[in-house]
Amino acid sequence: MQTGDPTSTGSGLLISGAIVASSPLTTTTLVIDYPGILTSSGPCQNRAADGTPIGAPPGTCPSIPAADPLRIEGATGLFAGATISSINYGTGVVEITLGGTRGLGGAGVDIPATLSGSFRLVGARLDVNGLTAPVTATFSLSSTANNYILSTTSGTVINAVGAGMTAPVIGTRTSTTASVGQGITVFTNRNLGGAGVSFTITEGFASAFRSSAQLTTDPSTRTTPNSTQVRLTFTGLQTGMTLTVATPNVTSTLGTLPTAGTWPKNVTATSTTVTFNITTSSLTATETIQFDVTMAAPSTTGAAFTTGAIQVTATMFPVGAALGNSLQPDSTAGYPQFAQADLGPLTIGNVISPTTVMLIPYAVADLGFDTGIAVANTTADPFGGAASGGATAASGPVTVSLYGRTATGATPTVVAVTTSATVRPGAGLDSSGNLNSGSTWTVLLSELRTAAGQTGSFTGYIFIQAPFIDAHGASFISDFRSFTSASPVLVLAPPASASRSNPGGGVETLGN
């Protein structure tokens, strides 16, 4: 964190004073104690041709850009000779030598009461991890001070402390409705369901995102130049999966922002991160970055995937410790650096078992009426398999869950039937109770209830779960004499990837 914008005039901590009576002033030390680690460098702007610091105290020149040190600027009048004498980065203490009468008439000479002066301490960067606003520095004078009087012993150096950005959320920027999808769905049989998702990250406060020029006074002299960066880390990818992150979509009060680096970028199980550089940024308006992520269809050969979530976290970047091994700032990874604070995780996709979930909203077995049900396993088709756009053949047992109406309206006890070698009501199942690819299972509700050991009448709704995608259903209610009425069979999005509790998530349709 820095106490001001290095590109603006008048940034930094202003210290001013005036003589209230003619008096000699001896050399003394002004101590400024920041409540945290200082991550800026010392007064190393004067260097020889070989880069050796000139006139700087030993140990105050770590590998931080020479053009952006913690320094004194604009020293005038009474404080014309002020210099930084020492910096303790770990404790945040800066000691400044005030020269007294030296340079203002000589030792023992009274300074006129009309003389005043000021200077600015510029370039202070403070590690604010664990700090709360307002952040206050304290001021004191050494015991050798003669006739110096402090008018204040503390001052606010940071008014507000906040996260540099928000956690990623599903959606698009407010200025665009373009989205590549609401989620990624991969089936364990290596088929791809939903292939895309858009999510956004918003700047935590207006000046959090900065270009290289906005981070330092002269980025051309930096050992490792960088702007503010955002690093995304993807987890849950398995061998054979590839995500593609498109060129980030960013607009601000400055218009459409350029994007550094080569895009799009691919992410795999072994290469899990991408980094976005903020090349241009407004310091007065918050900005939002939209990331569009798509998954390529995995190869149909190879071991089955395992179920799990695909997630993303985000952190400001580059990441590094506030101080290096010498207990001084280190720019090895870049400058400035950030503490790793991964935001999220955000679930952007799921690996799920290939299941078709169907819902019959109304079914009856009572007073001579019964409900006929048909489930077709259409994974056998004329389209040449998954490689040509067709289905992947699959088979397995079917589970039927019956939710019957109660006389009091209380929540019913679910009655479930899973087909097997010993439970094969109706017709169309093989000897193991599986519904094979290309087969159709037909069964009456009364037959299902008998298989479940149930007697009496039933009125309610039914869930059917088939362990493959591309199952389709049909149902009807009939007295098998003069009345027959079709009953819709709705298909649900896989609840593991589209929760039925979320508005617009698990929408039921007549399609598959």
pLDDT of residue 424: 97
Whether 88 and 209 share a structural domain: no
Whether 375 and 345 share a structural domain: no
Low-confidence ranges of the chain (pLDDT < 70): 1-10, 21-24, 41-68, 100-114, 143-147, 175-177, 216-225, 251-261, 325-326, 328, 330-332, 497, 502-512
pLDDT of residue 1: 37
Pair type for strands 508-509 and 265-267: unpaired
Q: Considering its fold, how many domains does the chain have in total?
A: 3
Whether 281 and 173 share a structural domain: yes
Position of tokens 């603006």?
8
pLDDT of residue 9: 59
Residue 467 CA to residue 486 CA, distance in Å, equals 25
Helix (H, G, I), strand (E, B) or coil at 139: strand
Query: What angle (nearest 5°) sits at the alpha carbon of residue 481, between those of residues 477 and 484?
Result: 25
Whether 361 and 391 share a structural domain: yes
Stretch (H or E) spanning 396: strand 396-397
C-alpha Rg value of the chain to the nearest Å: 35
Q: What are phi and psi of 462, to 5 degrees?
A: -135, 135
Whether 346 and 363 share a structural domain: no
Whether 303 and 407 share a structural domain: no
Whether 278 and 374 share a structural domain: no
% of the chain surpassing 90 pLDDT: 41
pLDDT of residue 490: 93
Whether 135 and 216 share a structural domain: no
Tokens of 277: 């550089």
pLDDT of residue 72: 87
Whether 332 and 360 share a structural domain: no
Residue 417 CA to residue 482 CA, distance in Å, equals 30
**Looking at 313, 331, 352, which one is the last position of a domain?**
352
Whether 180 and 322 share a structural domain: yes
Whether 394 and 262 share a structural domain: no
pLDDT of residue 51: 47
**Looking at 352, 386, 409, which one is the last position of a domain?**
352
**Looking at 337, 352, 367, which one is the last position of a domain?**
352
The domain of 278 spans 169-352
